[in-house]
Amino acid sequence: MIPGTAAIGTRCAQWSVHCRAALDIAASAVTPLLEQTDRVVPPGTEAFHINLDHVVAELMARSE
């Protein structure tokens, strides 16, 4: 990772032929967004705002 950047990546999924995706971006570019996100949905309260199991099920259903 480049100093001063934030890295976003994914791992291999069993149902995917694609194994990697990565993004290096200046941390200063995403910090305001992350701070705003934390104000709207404080860390640890995500489950009260979105049902991730439902979202994943919907995404998986679309891939069939």
pTM tops 0.75: no
Q: What is the DSSP string of 27-57?
A: HHHHHHHHHHHHHHS-TT-HHHH--HHHHHH
Q: Determine contact, residues 50/56, Cβ cutoff 8 Å.
A: no
Write the single-letter amino acid at 54: H
Q: What is the pLDDT of residues 5-47, one digit of tens each?
A: 555 555 555 555 656 666 778 888 889 999 999 999 999 998 8
The residues, ordered by sequence, that sit 6+ positions from 28 with a Cβ below 8 Å of its Cβ are: 4
Q: What is the pLDDT of residues 13-24, one digit of tens each?
A: 555 565 666 677
Instruction: Please give the residue range of the domain that contains residue 44.
Output: 5-62
Structural domains in the chain (count): 1
Cα–Cα distances in Å, from 55 out to 14, 25, 39, 49, 52?
Answer: 18, 26, 22, 12, 5
